[in-house]
A and B are shown apart, each in its own frame.
Chain A
Amino acid sequence: MKIIQVILIVAIIFIMISYLRRFRSAAIDKIFVSGLFLLGIVFILFPDMTNKLARLLGIGRGADLIFYLAIMGFGYIVVILYAKIKKLEDLLTTLVRNQSLASLNNHKEKA
């Protein structure tokens, strides 16, 4: 085994454990993400597999295949995060509005 393989596998396992411990996500998410991590470890141990898979799909090298998949994965994550942030922004606006209008009601009761 090459040193780089050891480093990558240790890193992946570390990230995977942090993910599973810290985030209370849905069970289906946990299975999906764990599957991705395990797939990553398999590809690190057997780099030729990505090459074969890539040729099957009509891409020259395995590294290119991973690259394309990574770009799409990040694009997906950005969209999901954008939607979540938008939702939080709306919630924040609602909270700020309700809080500001509560003072209006107090005012009325006093008067």
Chain B
Amino acid sequence: MSVYLIIPAFNEAPVVHEVLESLLTLGYPIIVVDDGSSDHTAQIVAELPVTLIRHVINRGQGAALETGMEAARRMHADYVVHFDADGQHDGREIIRLLKPLLNGECDVVFGSRFLEKIHPGLPLTRMLVLRAGRWLNYALTGILLTDAHNGFRAMNRRALDLLHFTQPGMAHATEILAGVRSHSLRYKEVPVHIQYSAYSKKKGQPVWNAVNILFHLLFKKN
């Protein structure tokens, strides 16, 4: 049984070393997709015992995730975990996401920051956007999650083979729901904690990007 961590990274040089170091202690093989970073992300990652895949130019987080997933398919992964490079997720919680998959309860597990009552450090604007995004996702896909846009997720081989990200940017959070729906995959949400550091807040997408995502999805060709 092999579990691969897929980490898309775009200009994460200040934090990526620390994030990967702590993940390496967990023992999972790691695939980092450097999405055409203009800083030293790739050089830093190359020095660590992880698989580094480099996009020559920036293609967006959805595209980077799909590249990582394709690599995992070729490396015969049984399970994959999506993890953010900016340090906002906690590696110790990976096992929580894997458990329902390993028990065969479902095919895809979504991390959710809203399954627990308190959300320390969550900025109000982001909270409101996520609330709205949740219902937007529901309208577009028929699936209502508690957390609309969480990059921390895990899936089994079946889902890995069926789900493909064609949206280059941040719309992948909605696209994955559409895929889960259309392939009737079983899914579950699991509580996770998000660290809102000044760095991850800065790296997080701006609020108005939600509008871009909406238009992208409305006008995508099927």
A-side interface residues toward B, CB under 8 Å?
A: 86, 89-90, 92-93, 96-97, 99-101, 103-105, 107
A101-B33 Cα distance, complex, nearest whole Å? 10
Decide: A100 and B74 in contact? CB cutoff 8 A: no
A107-B51 Cα distance, complex, nearest whole Å? 10
- Which one, A97, A105, A107, contacts B55 given CB within 8 A? A97
Shortest Cβ distance from residue A82 to the other chain B in the assembled complex, whole angstroms: 9
Decide: B55 and A103 in contact? CB cutoff 8 A: no
Which bracket fits the contact residues of B?
Answer: 10 to 19
Contacts of B198 in A (CB 8 A): none
Decide: B51 and A104 in contact? CB cutoff 8 A: yes
Cβ of B191 within 8 Å of any chain A Cβ, yes or no, is no
Decide: A101 and B54 in contact? CB cutoff 8 A: no
- Which one, B36, B57, B74, contacts A104 given CB within 8 A? B74
B-side interface residues toward A, CB under 8 Å?
A: 33, 36, 51, 53-57, 59-60, 63, 66-67, 70-71, 74, 166, 168, 221
Decide: B51 and A100 in contact? CB cutoff 8 A: no
A107-B33 Cα distance, complex, nearest whole Å? 15
Decide: B56 and A104 in contact? CB cutoff 8 A: no
**Nearest neighbor of B220 in chain A, beta-carbon distance:** A86
Shortest Cβ distance from residue A15 to the other chain B in the assembled complex, whole angstroms: 31
Contacts A96-B56, A96-B59 given; does A101 touch B166 at CB 8 Å:
no
Shortest Cβ distance from residue B45 to the other chain A in the assembled complex, whole angstroms: 13
A72-B67 Cα distance, complex, nearest whole Å? 40
Contacts A89-B168, A104-B71 given; does A97 touch B54 at CB 8 Å:
no
Decide: B166 and A90 in contact? CB cutoff 8 A: yes
Decide: A97 and B66 in contact? CB cutoff 8 A: yes
A101-B52 Cα distance, complex, nearest whole Å? 10
Decide: B63 and A100 in contact? CB cutoff 8 A: no
A101-B221 Cα distance, complex, nearest whole Å? 26
A84-B53 Cα distance, complex, nearest whole Å? 28
Contacts of B74 in A (CB 8 A): 101, 104-105
A89-B166 Cα distance, complex, nearest whole Å? 11
Shortest Cβ distance from residue B169 to the other chain A in the assembled complex, whole angstroms: 10
User: What are 18 A-B contacts defined by CB distance under 8 Å?
Assistant: A90-B166, A92-B57, A92-B59, A93-B59, A93-B63, A96-B36, A96-B56, A97-B59, A97-B66, A100-B53, A100-B55, A100-B67, A101-B67, A101-B70, A101-B74, A104-B53, A104-B71, A105-B74
